[in-house]
Structure 1
Amino acid sequence: MELLHVIILLFTGFLVFALDKKKKRFPVPMVLVIIGICLSLLPFFSGTMASKELIHDWFLPAVLFTAAYQFDVKHLKKNKWFIVVLSTVGLIAGVFLLASSIHAIGLVSLSFGGALLMAALLMPIDSVTVISVQQKSGQDKQIEELVEGESLASDGTSIALFTAASALFFSGQAIHPFVFMSDFFLQVLGGAAIGLVLGWLFSKAIHLLHDRHYQVMLSIVLAYASFYFAEHLHLASLLAVITAGLTLSYELEKSAESLEQAYRNHLDGFWEVVEPALIALIFLLIGLEFLTFIQWQQWPIIITVFLLTLLVRFLLLAAAAKTVPTWRRRFQWSELLLITISGIKGTVAVSLLLGLAAQEAQGLEHILSIAFGTVILSIVLQSLLIYPLSKWVAAHPDPSVRRFSEE
């Protein structure tokens, strides 16, 4: 990608952020993706190529680190068990259920391994998209906190899930659930441990520094060191970044209030400029790549798979919220629907799809087309539905339902 392309895309992103102040009915990620699709029709952008390395290795660590350290750890503590269940056991169950549905219906001629790979791409929700949309959606704060926490955890664990599914797909070996789950949890626990240790060490170092420039420099090192260290060890690299950011946030909270605010102001001064620039580039690049992957004759299949992802997510949420005794009365059905719609797919799935595009295997072109089309539908349609659905849920509360934060 040439420098002139980057400058034009950054300026386009600036215009979108500057002109759309409310970001409610027309969320920024959706607008940027649509603009990117339109720009891809221009000959000038015909050579603009995104890659997994660009999005996954350079953009996502910075964006996810910012989202993690800015996330209030108290919210994570409050919803921790629900989030843990959804982002581990629930995510695995969702992937197998979605894969089984796609394979059983026979929408496309894929092996179960191919269907499993597609499901591993499409079941996790994306924190970059979710947080960008939810912050201006007018959504109930407690639901917003829950979905943002789930999306951060899901981004971290999704890489481990995808790695296990892709290894099975390309090797052609039979699927052994125990081996699949053990590989998944090994990567998850290893990535989390790296982020926890590095986040704690770097937080102590930041407290020793008094120059805000050095504090910011150290936070940049933390974001990328946690990612590349975990990547080198073949562990969940994005989870390492997220855990490092959350650990830094937790350690900052233990400082005196004046010092914590000073630290956060210094870090925010840098990361809150970098974050929207990277978000603009990511979603514009997703739009630019859309026509490269999509096969127009597959739109009926894409729509069906998109609806299946929503149905499976709703069933999993209902199973967790309505069958576990301590969670049974914490959600009304309309809130479960809102949480379902709020689970948008996005950047991580696209970065993994770009990595798959460089490989060859039977049926891979169908996976790329259907998965990419489903991600685009998710970004556009779910982003549009969150605001009006949030308003409707707020206008029809169920007084018999206890709020999720009550213990």
Structure 2
Amino acid sequence: MHTALLLVGIVVTVLVGTSLSERLRLPAPMVLIVLGVIGSFLPFVPVIELGPELVLVGLLPPLLYSSALQTSIIDIKANLTSVILLSVTAVVVTTFTVGWTLHALVPDIPWPVALALGAAVAPPDAVSASAVARRIGLPRQIVTVLEGESLLNDATALVSLRTAIAAITGAVAVGSISLDFLIAAGGGILLGLAVAAVVNLLRRRIHDPLIDTGLSFVVPFLAYLAAEEIHASGVISVVVAGLLIGHKAPVVQTSGSRITERVTWSTVAFLLEHAVFLLIGMQVVSIITGLDGTVPWSRVVLACAGVLAAVILTRMAWVLLTQWLRGLRQAPQEREPWSHAIITGWAGMRGVVTIAAVFIIPADVPHHDLLVLCALVVVLGTLYLQGLSLPWLTRALGVRPNDPAVDALARATLLQQASEAGLHELDRCDHHEDHGVAESIRARLDQRAPSRPGSGCPPAPGRSPRRRPTPGCG
């Protein structure tokens, strides 16, 4: 009964907090974190710890799978260099930079422990980036890079964290690190491919939307647990499976199944994404009160501020440096605007993966409570500092979303090409005893395509604004 009441309370709070954020014109994650902090002071609210099992097994697979389903493989391929530079190399660089900073500020913390914290705070969060990007309307290329990076960088960070934890108890050879990374990445990719192939094969034989949607709830957990069982990356397995299943959905799924699955997963992702930020806020009090007091507060504040600054500045410097180096090999008309690079560098909000990863670090390492507090400061600092200032920075740099007119024109062109292909195929078919179906199809295509002769649509330039457009005309 208590668990049921707790779940109901979380859902109600998420719905109220989201509605409140719309009235206040603030991103929902910021409002929900504040509500979580307030809730942690209430005596009747139980303590909920975001342990690694809850986040990495219960929350992360469905969140990553939902994001992967909506992500275009074609768009990621077009921006593959940027995605790899941010999801792999930027995470490694941030890990070492944060580790060096923390060890310099608190010399009592050993190098492997400092690097473990660096790996925990290195990956930006897919949920945070998507939530802010969708709200302020960033260009499609930036959103694609941020979402693609956030889908893949968790694997790099978790492999780095696993290596750092192994180094806490003993020496780790370079060859062992490389082998672990290859096993984690390669095994995750292969298992993701296998899961996607099996699911796509089954979906060709499933025509019930409810059964099809029910199958989709099994996929993220199956892909994650199977990969972790062989010490591969469950994150990569879930992402690969989600990308391929989403890419093949129009071919292997019925239209009813696609609509049902999309609506269902949108609802599930909405509740999970916002519940995560509420739970992060509920951790604040317990983390602050858990400090053992062995480190002076002045040093604690300095360490937290130093780690936060290292996280933000390292990403910004890395994005600008790679932009400059890539620009040296590109023609002027092919270079990405510097304003896009600045926005990409500043949109590095951290989230639930950072909180979960820091709890993977053994509790008996020196100053474990300080590590947890630093991770919390990074999450809150990036969410509030970068998340709240990103809309202002976007306006100041003149970065605008894609022109809706251009998107509409591209969509109309695509529909026109599809209509032409359909009519060409229709002409090749035998129309004996088709009961007028072919003519009906041609008439409907003529109504939907204003540029086709005989469509009955008035010319666009001469259309009077007071005249109601002909049905089917754009």
Q: Give the letter for the 2:183 counterpart.
A: L
Aligned position for 1:322:
324
Give the structure, 1 or 2, with the largest relative contact order (CA under 8 Å, sep 6 or more). Answer: 1
Asked if the contact 1:192–1:243 (Cα under 8 Å) also holds between the matched residues in 2, the reply is yes
Distance 2:149 2:321 in 1: 16
Distance 1:288 1:206 in 2: 40
Asked if the contact 2:102–2:303 (Cα under 8 Å) also holds between the matched residues in 1, the reply is no
Shift of 1:93: 2.7
Q: Give the letter for the 1:60 counterpart.
A: L
Aligned position for 2:131:
132
Distance 2:330 2:22 in 1: 37
The count of aligned residue pairs is 389
2:376 to 369, 372, 377: 372
Q: Which moved more, 1:327-336 or 1:32-41?
A: 327-336
Aligned with 1:94: secondary structure? helix
Cα distance change of structure 1 residues 303 and 194 upon mapping to structure 2, 3 Å threshold = same
1:277 equivalent to 2:271? Answer yes
Asked if the contact 1:10–1:280 (Cα under 8 Å) also holds between the matched residues in 2, the reply is no
1:313 to 298, 312, 315: 315
1:167 equivalent to 2:166? Answer yes
Aligned position for 1:99:
99
Shift of 1:261: 4.9
Aligned position for 1:184:
181
**Where in structure 2 are there 5+ consecutive unaligned residues?**
402-474
1:353 to 338, 354, 358: 358
- Structure 1 residues 338-387: Cα deviation after superposition (integer angstroms, max 9, x where no partner): 11221111111112223447x32223222112112211212222211221
1:336 to 341, 347, 350: 341
Shift of 1:185: 3.1
Q: Give the letter for the 1:381 counterpart.
A: L
**Where in structure 1 are there 5+ consecutive unaligned residues?**
398-407
Distance 1:48 1:89 in 2: 34
Distance 2:23 2:329 in 1: 37
Distance 1:11 1:362 in 2: 39
Rg (Cα) greater in structure: 2
Shift of 1:327: 6.0
Q: Give the letter for the 2:87 counterpart.
A: S
Q: Give the letter for the 2:190 counterpart.
A: A
Cα distance change of structure 1 residues 49 and 364 upon mapping to structure 2, 3 Å threshold = closer
Structure 1 length-normalised TM:
0.88
1:231 to 207, 223, 228: 228
Cα distance change of structure 1 residues 50 and 122 upon mapping to structure 2, 3 Å threshold = closer
Aligned position for 1:286:
280
Distance 1:274 1:310 in 2: 31
Shift of 1:289: 0.9
1:17 equivalent to 2:22? Answer no
- Structure 1 residues 6-43: Cα deviation after superposition (integer angstroms, max 9, x where no partner): 211210101122343489x5211121111101111111
Distance 1:395 1:316 in 2: 20
Asked if the contact 2:213–2:257 (Cα under 8 Å) also holds between the matched residues in 1, the reply is no
Report sequence identity in percent: 23
Shift of 1:213: 0.8
Q: Give the letter for the 1:137 counterpart.
A: I
Aligned with 2:283: secondary structure? helix
Shift of 1:154: 1.0
Asked if the contact 2:17–2:32 (Cα under 8 Å) also holds between the matched residues in 1, the reply is yes
Distance 1:67 1:281 in 2: 16
Q: Give the letter for the 2:12 counterpart.
A: F
Cα distance change of structure 1 residues 344 and 217 upon mapping to structure 2, 3 Å threshold = same
Aligned with 1:139: secondary structure? coil
Q: Give the letter for the 1:270 counterpart.
A: T
Distance 1:393 1:141 in 2: 16
2:394 to 385, 390, 397: 390
Q: Give the letter for the 1:196 counterpart.
A: L
- Structure 1 residues 50-95: Cα deviation after superposition (integer angstroms, max 9, x where no partner): 3322222112111111011111222111111221232223322332
Aligned position for 1:400:
none
